[in-house]
């Protein structure tokens, strides 16, 4: 059953090639298709294209389909092209000709756009919830280990004192930057395309403000052509947000892999959270974080993939856009899986104590000693030269004291302020 059926069936090879994985992917859109249809028919009744009696038949039938979707009983049957066709087929099968009326004033173009916008809104919220769980774990660990010092590096050379409180807190705040991208993508998705039809509007007196309100969109995409142009643009915004989160998470995974290395041995995990070697009995490998790093690197590529897919398309709907679902649907699920796994793993992390007592880190205190001399009255350049000569002559002996008190430093992590930033961003998503 196809909504565009005109009395002939396409070649089977053509149908297989053009439909691809769309039926499977469309199952994730099913509940949103019903939501959009329920809003649409309420609007149709308000402008006289459905009677009150017809609406009273259609709404319970659509709710029945929604309940079947919730229970996992809904499926797109063989021979049915997509989720939109399946919903209309079920209504017509159960109610007769009144089921055929729900498509008035609507095209599959704006129908799938509505489904996708509703889907992306929910997916971005799910991603945000997973980010927030990881954020809370990072803040918790930052506070718990705030007094445990570790080396800070530049150029992968020992540089200055850092702390685990500073390290965990840094990633927590980095995720607030990524949340800004999530909020921006959400705002782009949170606009109603319903009523744009095939991209050029309708001769029916559609009430687009009504459907926007019923579906809790912030506003309609006002220009109907702009509404259709949002297909691809919305996906690029979501992909950019996913890429930003993946970049931060992949960087964190790399740090953990490095800190677990025997040459550092700053952190460790219970044996059951690591893997081994088939030949080396001593090995405890960070496979979880290596896989996480790899997945996050791959997730950062999807923005470019979407850009290449949509870059040279002419105005209006083109079937190429169907392939966006193949790229973005699995990506959002994979990111959530990585975020949740990171939260789980960090819940079991073990931190090594007294790392900076090792003499290999003596030079990490040179800046502290330069600053100490400056505070005692010596000009900075003289203090720098004095400590530098001691290093060159092999006579340098660190005081090992660390006195950082300014905002955001080792002794003043500003975790309350960072948490406030995250809370503000979560509220913008209604979370």
pLDDT tens digits, residue range 345-382?
999 999 999 999 999 999 999 999 999 999 999 999 99
| Eight-state DSSP code of residue 365 | G
What does each C-alpha distance from 202 to 33, 68, 104, 198 come to in angstroms?
Answer: 20, 32, 9, 9
Per-residue confidence band for 1, with pLDDT thresholds at 50, 70 and 90: very low
The yes-or-no verdict on residue 9 having pLDDT over 80 is: no
Contact in structure between 10 and 170 (CB atoms under 8 Å): no
Q: Which residue has tokens 């002794």? A: 411
CB-based contacts of 418, cutoff 8 Å, min separation 6: 139, 169, 172, 173, 176
The percent of residues in the chain predicted with pLDDT above 70, rounded, is 95
Separation of alpha carbons 18 and 10, rounded Å:
10
Residue 136, CB half-sphere, CA atoms under 13 Å: how many? 9
Residue 177, CB half-sphere, CA atoms under 13 Å: how many? 13
Over its C-alpha atoms, the chain yields an Rg (Å, rounded) of 29
Per-residue confidence band for 13, with pLDDT thresholds at 50, 70 and 90: confident
Residue 174, CB half-sphere, CA atoms under 13 Å: how many? 17
Token reading at 274: 């690591």
In tens, the pLDDT along 17-65 reads: 666 676 788 899 999 999 999 999 999 999 999 999 999 999 999 999 9
Residue 368, CB half-sphere, CA atoms under 13 Å: how many? 20
| Eight-state DSSP code of residue 80 | -
Token reading at 82: 């997509």
What does each C-alpha distance from 403 to 93, 131, 371, 385 come to in angstroms?
Answer: 75, 32, 10, 21
Q: What pTM, to 2 d.p., does this model score? A: 0.93
Separation of alpha carbons 133 and 28, rounded Å:
24
Contact in structure between 196 and 228 (CB atoms under 8 Å): yes
The secondary structure of 29-62 as a DSSP string is: GHHHHHHHHHHHHHHHHHTTSS-HHHHHHHHHHH
In terms of C-beta distances under 8 Å and separation of at least 24 residues, what long-range contacts does 13-19 make, across chains too?
18/319, 19/81, 19/82
The yes-or-no verdict on residue 252 having pLDDT over 60 is: yes
pLDDT at 341: 98
Per-residue confidence band for 11, with pLDDT thresholds at 50, 70 and 90: low
Contact in structure between 355 and 50 (CB atoms under 8 Å): no
Q: Flag the least confident range among 8-12, 70-74, 272-276, 419-423.
A: 8-12
Mean pLDDT value across the chain:
94
- Find the mean pLDDT for residues 201-206: 96
pLDDT at 4: 43
- Please state, as a whole number, how many other Cβ atoms lie within 10 Å of the Cβ of residue 280: 8
Per-residue confidence band for 316, with pLDDT thresholds at 50, 70 and 90: confident
Angle at 212 between CA 206 and CA 216, to 5 degrees: 160
- Find the mean pLDDT for residues 226-244: 96
Domains of the chain, earliest start first: 12-104 (1.10.275.10), 109-357+418-428 (1.20.200.10), 359-393 (no CATH)
Separation of alpha carbons 385 and 380, rounded Å:
9
Token reading at 269: 């995990």
Separation of alpha carbons 325 and 21, rounded Å:
9
Separation of alpha carbons 99 and 185, rounded Å:
35
């Amino acid at each position: 059953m196809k909504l565009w059926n005109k009395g002939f069936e396409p070649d089977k090879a053509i149908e297989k090639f053009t439909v691809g994985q769309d039926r499977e992917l469309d199952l994730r859109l099913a509940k949103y298709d019903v939501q959009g249809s329920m809003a649409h028919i309420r609007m149709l009744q308000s402008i006289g294209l459905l009677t009150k009696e017809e609406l009273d038949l259609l709404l319970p039938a659509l709710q029945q389909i929604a309940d079947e979707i919730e229970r996992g009983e809904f499926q797109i049957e063989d021979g049915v092209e997509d989720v939109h066709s399946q919903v209309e087929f079920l209504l017509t099968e159960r109610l007769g000709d009144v089921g055929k009326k729900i498509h008035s004033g609507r095209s599959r173009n704006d129908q799938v756009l509505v489904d996708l916008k509703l889907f992306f809104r929910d997916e971005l919220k799910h991603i945000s919830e997973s980010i927030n769980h990881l954020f809370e774990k990072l803040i918790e660990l930052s506070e718990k280990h705030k007094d445990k010092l570790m080396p800070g590096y530049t150029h992968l050379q020992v540089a200055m004192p850092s702390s685990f409180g500073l390290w965990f807190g840094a990633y927590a705040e980095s995720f607030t930057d990524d949340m800004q991208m999530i909020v921006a993508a959400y705002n782009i998705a949170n606009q109603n395309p319903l009523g744009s039809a095939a991209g050029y509007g309708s001769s029916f007196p559609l009430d687009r403000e009504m459907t926007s309100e019923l579906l809790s969109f912030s506003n309609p995409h006002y220009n109907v052509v702009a509404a259709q142009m949002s297909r691809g643009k919305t996906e690029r915004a979501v992909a950019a947000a996913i890429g930003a989160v993946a970049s931060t998470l992949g960087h964190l995974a790399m740090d953990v892999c490095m800190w677990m290395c025997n040459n550092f041995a700053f952190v460790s995990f219970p044996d059951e959270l690591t893997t081994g070697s088939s030949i080396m009995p001593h090995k405890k490998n960070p496979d979880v974080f290596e896989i996480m790093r790899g997945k996050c690197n791959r997730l950062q590529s999807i923005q470019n993939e979407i850009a290449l897919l949509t870059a040279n398309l002419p105005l209006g709907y083109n079937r190429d856009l169907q392939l966006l679902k193949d790229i973005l649907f699995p990506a959002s699920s994979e990111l959530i899986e990585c975020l949740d796994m990171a939260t789980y793993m960090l819940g079991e992390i073990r931190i090594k104590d007294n790392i900076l007592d090792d003499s290999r880190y003596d030079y990490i205190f040179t800046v502290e000693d330069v600053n100490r001399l400056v505070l005692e009255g010596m000009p900075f350049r003289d203090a720098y030269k004095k400590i530098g000569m001691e290093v060159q002559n092999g006579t340098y002996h660190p005081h090992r004291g660390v006195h950082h008190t300014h905002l955001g430093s080792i002794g003043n992590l500003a975790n309350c302020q960072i948490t406030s930033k995250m809370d503000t961003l979560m509220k913008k998503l209604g979370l």
